Amino acid sequence: MTALVVFLCLILFAIIIVQIGKVTELAAKIRGEEEVQDMANRRQASYSLIFMIVFLVACVVSGAYYKNYMLGYGPHESASEHGSSIDSLFSITLFFTGIVFFITQILLFYFAYKFRAQKGRKAAYISHNNTLELVWTGIPAIVMAYLVIGGLDVWNEVMPDVGPDDEFIEVEATGFQFAWQLRYPGPDGQLGTRDFRMIKEGVNPLGQDWSDVKNHDDFLPNELVLPVNQKVRVRITSRDVLHNFYLPHFRVKMDAVPGMPTYFIFTPTKTTEEYRQQLSKYPEYQVPSPADSEKQMWETFEYELACAELCGKGHYSMKKLVRIVSQEEYEQWLSTQSSYYLGNIKGTEYDPIQEATTSAPAPVVEEATPVTEEAAAPEH
Ligand SMILES: [Cu+2]
């Protein structure tokens, strides 16, 4: 029924347009082409002014309406230590670009109105104007320099690597089409070496070199669980194309590049539960949750790891659950995790150590130096 009404409306709309066209043609014949053209110019010029007002008001209203869904403010205040620096950088940039946006849009539509074609008006010829050149080069140059230097300053604050005496948890995230594979170092605190030639789907998804004992306690969990207020260093790599390790609520975003390890260091400052409490104060999150109608939206909130690089048709599905918990809960969770080597490799045909003990000749050891994808992490 609705479809029929919409269809009829469209037909009627088309008929109106055709009729207006006919009337205009007729009027042109009666009054003369020039006058009709002048009227059309005036009409279209005022439409552009109306459009400008509606457009700018809609920008302001939608900004105000959606503010509680946006990162960087109120309910979505950053959940990491460095996050507020990035947020203030965004706010400063938005302030300046906002001013430029309003000035340029107003001028664009106002000029289209003011300088519409009019009888007897001739366009002015201006070859150049030094004052104007100085203003529109000088002001953007100063503002851009301020933004770029501010940006560099924040980059230097956010990106330094860990020092040799720093206490931190190191985890690894490997992007592939289409998921993230996480790896924790296990009780020894060290991630084992990898060799991409050893990657075998379903057996050795990361190409861990099993002759390296550091690999034997590494585990590959399904979710990213981290304790609150502890520094984390994430090694980020990719197995195929470009991906991007993105933790929006922590303002963490770093490309995952095949063959070029990257990293990000951050300290989560709010547990998942604390973030839910932060959301609970806003009406936007006091509505039934789509995930569970018995609960409110803030109660079902979860942090997420996403991919922020359009990496193929399954890009959208690279979501992983992130949980920030207390130190006790973290240790409890650690104790439930078990080594990938012990559960899947030890004693199987893929275990080089097994080969060494059962076969008489010396074990076949890779002659070539393995090409590892290990990040240049300081030894600790
Ligand atoms: Cu991706």
Q: How far is the CA of 179 from the centre of ligand 1 (A)?
A: 7
Which residue did the predictor score with more confidence, 34 or 188? 188
Under the banding of pLDDT at 50, 70 and 90, the label for residue 365 is very low
> Within 13 A of 313's CA, how many CA atoms are on the CB side?
0
Mean pLDDT for the stretch of residues 158-187? 91
Mean pLDDT for the stretch of residues 235-258? 94
Selection from 9-13, 346-350, 359-363, 370-374 with the highest mean pLDDT: 9-13
Mean pLDDT for the stretch of residues 284-288? 91
Q: What is the 3-state secondary structure (H, E, C) of the chain?
A: CHHHHHHHHHHHHHHHHHHHHHHHHHHHHHHCHHHHHHHHHHHHHHHHHHHHHHHHHHHHHHHHHCHHHCCCCHHHCCCECCHHHHHHHHHHHHHHHHHHHHHHHHHHHHHHHHCCCCCCCCCCCCCCCHHHHHHHHHHHHHHHHHHHHHHHHHHHHHCCCCCCCCCCEEEEEEEECCEEEEEECCCCCCCCCECHHHCECCCECCCECCCCHHHCCCECCCCEEEECCCCEEEEEEECCCCEEEEEHHHCEEEEEEECECEEEEECECCCHHHHHHHHHCCHHHCCECCCCCCCEHHHHCCEEEEECCCCCCCHHHCCEEEEEECHHHHHHHHHHCCCHHHHHHCCCCCCHHHHHHHCCCCCCCCCCCCCCCCCCCCCC
Residue 25 token pair: 């043609």
Please name every residue paired with 236 in a beta bridge, in sequence order, or none if there are none.
173, 262
Which residue did the predictor score with more confidence, 181 or 200? 181
Q: How far is the CA of 374 from the centre of ligand 1 (A)?
A: 20
Q: How far is the CA of 178 from the centre of ligand 1 (A)?
A: 6
Residue 204 token pair: 């050795």
- The reported pLDDT for the residue numbered 233 is 94
Strands 320-325 and 243-247: unpaired
Which residue did the predictor score with more confidence, 155 or 24? 155
- The reported pLDDT for the residue numbered 107 is 94
Under the banding of pLDDT at 50, 70 and 90, the label for residue 355 is low
Under the banding of pLDDT at 50, 70 and 90, the label for residue 225 is very high
CB within 8 A of 80, min separation 6: which ones?
Answer: 249, 250, 251, 252, 266, 267, 268, 269
Q: How far is the CA of 308 from the centre of ligand 1 (A)?
A: 7
Does residue 348 have a pLDDT over 60?
yes
Under the banding of pLDDT at 50, 70 and 90, the label for residue 86 is very high
Does residue 328 have a pLDDT over 80?
yes
Q: How far is the CA of 314 from the centre of ligand 1 (A)?
A: 8
Nearest to 161 by CA among 270, 266, 82: 266
Instruction: Write the class of the CATH domain 169-358.
Output: mainly beta
Q: How far is the CA of 230 from the centre of ligand 1 (A)?
A: 27
Domain ranges of the chain: 12-117, 169-358
- The reported pLDDT for the residue numbered 368 is 46
Q: How far is the CA of 161 from the centre of ligand 1 (A)?
A: 24
Q: How far is the CA of 309 from the centre of ligand 1 (A)?
A: 5
Mean pLDDT for the stretch of residues 217-246? 93
Mean pLDDT for the stretch of residues 145-164? 92
Q: How far is the CA of 285 from the centre of ligand 1 (A)?
A: 29
Mean pLDDT for the stretch of residues 150-165? 90
**What is the percent of the chain where pLDDT is above 90?**
62
Q: How far is the CA of 255 from the centre of ligand 1 (A)?
A: 10
Under the banding of pLDDT at 50, 70 and 90, the label for residue 25 is confident
- The reported pLDDT for the residue numbered 267 is 94
Q: How far is the CA of 256 from the centre of ligand 1 (A)?
A: 9
